[in-house]
Amino acid sequence: MNVVLSYGLGVDSTALLLRWLHEPDSRDFDLSDLLVVTSMTGGEWPRTITLVQDHVLPQLRAAGVRFAQVARAGPREADGIRVLDDSTCPTVLYGHGAHKLEDELTSAGTVPQAGGNRICSMKFKGWVIDEYLRLFSPEATRHAFGYEVGEQRRADDCERHMHGRLALGFEVGELGRARRATEYDTPSRIAEFPLIEWGWDRERCERYIESHTGVPDWPKSACDFCPFALTSRAGRVATLRRYDDGPESLMRTLLLERRSVCLNPRGGLIAGRRLDLLVAERLPHMIVPFEERMTWTRHAVFEVRRLWRPRRDDPTRVGTVGRALRILTAGSRRRCESYVRSLGDVDLQDGIARVYLLRRGEDLPTREHFFVAAPAGAEEKQRASFGTWWEELEHTQLDLLAAVA
């Protein structure tokens, strides 16, 4: 086994895989040398799971291609990975994964971040596949990726760490990304770009998939709560359409966001802004059932302390952000919200009831301290140094107040 395809289930990698299956002249290796690997986050759109299971798995079986489905076994790397299936006759796509990204977001009380590195992808896909190859296919010498538009950093990260020949699923419209990718070539690893070599763009990929599956609108692969799909107007329109077709995905996503926003007013899915407000505007028929679901969803009362410390080299910019989360009680939504109201004056500025003891200031360092009722699931957590930072900032602010007085 010396050729590996990281199969992301989306348009680019599906088109690449199907052409390799159907057109021997498109590859310089035998299908017996091909290993297809997918890492399951547990959050893939249900329609994507159905399409791959119905249209791609039968073609892998017919060609006798080995397909490995893997997932994280737990939150720590020490927990290892779980092989969900590894065979040349796959019949089920195990989209539910094992340890889900959704589980991790729930326990942390947050949502994926649209800015910076795609940490969730590296943790739930990149590391998992690397670990699988280390354990089960150490002889792999070529590794192909079906990257989509806007995934340059992911491609760069993979290229820096991959040895041997690397085939990337860039399209014709991504020549600039391809040129930058070659900057990481070494004597032991040369980047290859099959889709560019074939002259294929996204539309060509979609038409090829349609010709071999009958599906005219193969969807982009993503978790149904992925914030990157919401960063553009076109992306929001497409995602709302998918939510309208799959209400349960929306319910799960709004639950994740509601918990996140309760614990952090800036914790919405749309680059900090709230998806539920967009849904209320564009899909109002979806908000009523969500709020009804919230009435019977178990809640908890959280004490939230958060602080922002400045960078050492630039005191005007945020360096370290810390949060301490403590659970005071749990129960029904009504009971928990009543408990919060008993703690002091309620702030309803964003529609969520909070009782503030401290509000975030404009200058750094700063901190906030409040109580809120939120959907249960987030775990108590506080980094070891948080208490010291909090006390230091408290003493500093008290000294400043005394000096002013």
As averages over each run of 10 residues, the pLDDT of the chain (405 residues) reads 84 94 94 94 95 98 97 94 97 95 95 74 88 82 54 45 49 52 46 76 94 95 91 92 94 97 95 93 94 96 96 91 96 97 96 96 93 98 92 75 54
Closest CA to 197 of 177, 171, 179: 171
CA distance 232 to 287: 22
Q: How high is the pLDDT of residue 155?
A: 43
Q: How large is the greatest C-alpha to C-alpha distance in the chain, in angstroms?
A: 82
Element (H, E) at 70: strand 66-72
Q: Six-digit token pair at 392? A: 């230091």
Amino acid of residue 385: S
C-alpha distance across the termini of the chain, in Å: 75
347, 356 contact by CB (below 8 A) = yes
pLDDT over 90, % of the chain: 68
Q: Describe the strand order of the beta sheet including 81-87 as a list of residue ranges.
A: 81-87, 66-72, 34-39, 3-6, 142-145, 165-168, 191-192
- E runs forming strands in 257-365: 299-310, 318-331, 354-358
Give the number of other CB atoms < 10 A from CB of residue 269: 26
Q: How far is CA 151 from the centre of its chain?
A: 13
Tokens representing 276 are 């539920």
Listed by start position, the domains of the chain span: 3-213, 227-296, 299-404
Per-residue model confidence as pLDDT tens digits over 18-52: 999 999 999 999 999 999 999 999 999 999 999 99
Q: Is 273 left (phi over 0), alpha (psi -120 to 50) or beta?
A: beta
- Give pLDDT, residue 287: 93
Looking at residue 45, what is its pLDDT? 95
pLDDT for 200? 87
User: Is 304 in contact with 369 (CB distance < 8 Å)?
Assistant: yes
pLDDT in the model for residue 317: 93
Do 133 and 109 meet the contact criterion of CB atoms below 8 Å apart?
no
- Rounded to the nearest 5 degrees, what angle is found at the Cα of 79, between the Cα atoms of 78 and 83? 125
Q: Measured between alpha carbons, how far is 316 from 189 in angstroms, rounded to an integer?
A: 42
Q: Which CATH class is domain 3-213?
A: alpha beta
